[in-house]
Amino acid sequence: MTTPLRIAIAGLGTVGTGVVRLLAENKELIRTRAGRDIEITAICARDKNRDRGLDLGAYDWVDNPQALATRDDIDVVVELIGGSDEPALALTKTAMQNGKSLVTANKAMLAHHGAALAMMADEHTVMLGFEASVAGGIPAIKAIKDGLSANTIRSVYGILNGTCNYILTEMRRTGHDFVGILKQAQEKGYAEADPTFDIGGIDTAHKICLLAALCFGTHPDFDAISITGIEKINAEDIEFAEDFGYRIKLLGIATKDDHGALSVRVEPCLIDQSRPIAAVDDVYNAVLIQSDFAGRTLLTGRGAGQAPTASAVVADIIDIAKGIKLPVFGVAAKHLNTARNAAPEDIYARYYLRFTVQDKPGTIADISAILRDHNVSIKGLIQRSRDEDGGLVPVVMTTHRSRYGDISACATAIAALPAVSDGDPCVLRITDEV
């Protein structure tokens, strides 16, 4: 008779309670697929008395997560507390140092400490599973590490934050701005403990950081990522984008150019409405990988929330039960490289620009003169006039393919014109590659 795999769960919030529920509801099926029972030995959260809607009486409760890392009756620690540092980090390190495999949904911790943790996993020959940390229920990490392992990957693009995708979708459907919609996303359990991580693009950056490491065999390098969130996008941008034939999506992007330089960034982008990824709405995520032999691989599914995230956590636990142990970022940690980063100003694309200007003679002429002087050509232009002259109106334009350094210089010069109202212009890239 095979011995059960004994696990401990630290963190019993949205994801942790989902894992307890899934292990119970699909117990028989999981036993058959894993080849052995998976038993929860101990659990831990902050507040023992909180009603979590589950009967947790059968499991040993501990107050300090660190205590789980050293117990002899635990094979695997499942870290679902969150946060890049303590207590999640100490728990992860101590568990692995004590020969335990570790499963986590914590992209923040891996984006900041992934290289050191991967070294530690290799040194102690344990598995560090993090399928749940990127794109919720989509098995994106397995697809890259395993299914696409024979390919040279050229780029990965992803809608990686369910909260932002839900907000942008609802803004488009309702015309509301994001504050009220964010509250709904929080109630559904999609948002991070600090939702500015979602809105500000940090959560997407954590995830694209991990995908870049997996796709290009590099150390996760969070500090090298250029990050723009969705804070500046208003309902009008979404409407204008629709008028031009686009959808706005927050994308995590990692590409390698012909000279081997990496560009890893997070930014709201305009995507042609005819592209499959433009139709990925609500809490759904998408990961598009372009590789030399497999070509374009597009994965979509639910990117956040209790059930899909629990599905990914338990998939890692089942792998451990089966004895599968792949290197954390697809290659032995000692073979991970340090990336050379491409200069952001040298990115060529088409762009969307929105300014708020005074509706008076000469304003558009002044703006176009600046664009002409920087060699930027206008493709489309919309000015929504009010009835009377002199009021503030949005001017929105799309450009032909231009260098980002030139676009950025134009945006600064245009913002300084007397007829342009205070506040940063909205500059978005139009992404044709997806």
Query: Which of ligand NDP, ligand HSE, none does residue 13 bind to, with CB < 5 to 8 Å depending on kind?
Result: ligand NDP
Contacts of 251 (CB under 8 A, 6+ apart): 157, 158, 159, 160, 204, 266, 267, 268, 269, 271, 431, 434
Residue 65 or 189: the one with the smaller Cβ distance to ligand HSE is 189
Which one from 142, 207, 249, 256 is the annotated catalytic residue?
A: 207
User: For residue 204, what is the enclosing H or E element?
Assistant: helix 202-216
Residue 82 in the binding site for ligand HSE (CB under 6 A):
no
Q: Give the shortest CB-18-to-ligand NDP separation in angstroms.
A: 8
Query: Which of ligand NDP, ligand HSE, none does residue 41 bind to, with CB < 5 to 8 Å depending on kind?
Result: none
Radius of gyration of the chain (CA): 24
Under 8 Å between Cβ of 28 and 36: no
**Known catalytic residue: 207?**
yes
Query: Which of ligand HSE, ligand NDP, none does residue 44 bind to, with CB < 5 to 8 Å depending on kind?
Result: ligand NDP
Residue 161 in the binding site for ligand HSE (CB under 6 A):
yes
Contacts of 206 (CB under 8 A, 6+ apart): 107, 108, 110, 111, 133, 222
Please name which of 243, 265, 237 lies closest in space to residue 168, comparing C-alpha atoms: 237
Instruction: Give the end-to-end CA distance of the chain in Å, rounded to a whole number.
Output: 50
Sole binder of ligand HSE in the list 162, 200, 220, 301 (CB under 6 A) = 162
- How many residues bind ligand NDP, per CB under 6 A? 28
SS3 36: coil
Residue 191 in the binding site for ligand HSE (CB under 6 A):
yes
Q: Give the shortest CB-312-to-ligand NDP separation in angstroms.
A: 8
Residue 13 in the binding site for ligand NDP (CB under 6 A):
yes
Residue 229 in the binding site for ligand NDP (CB under 6 A):
no
Query: Which of ligand NDP, ligand HSE, none does residue 198 bind to, with CB < 5 to 8 Å depending on kind?
Result: ligand HSE
Q: Which of residues 113-142 bind ligand NDP (CB under 6 A)?
A: 132-133, 136
Residue 50 or 360: the one with the smaller Cβ distance to ligand NDP is 50
Under 8 Å between Cβ of 260 and 229: no
Question: What are the φ and ψ backbone dihedral angles of 364, each rounded to 5 degrees?
Answer: -65, -35
Q: Write down the number of H helices and E strands in the chain.
A: 13, 17
Residues that bind ligand HSE (CB under 6 A): 136, 161-163, 190-192, 198, 203, 303-304
**Active site (catalytic) residues:** 207
- Site residues for ligand NDP per CB under 6 A: 11-16, 44-47, 50, 65, 80-82, 87, 105-106, 132-133, 136, 189-190, 192-193, 304-305, 309
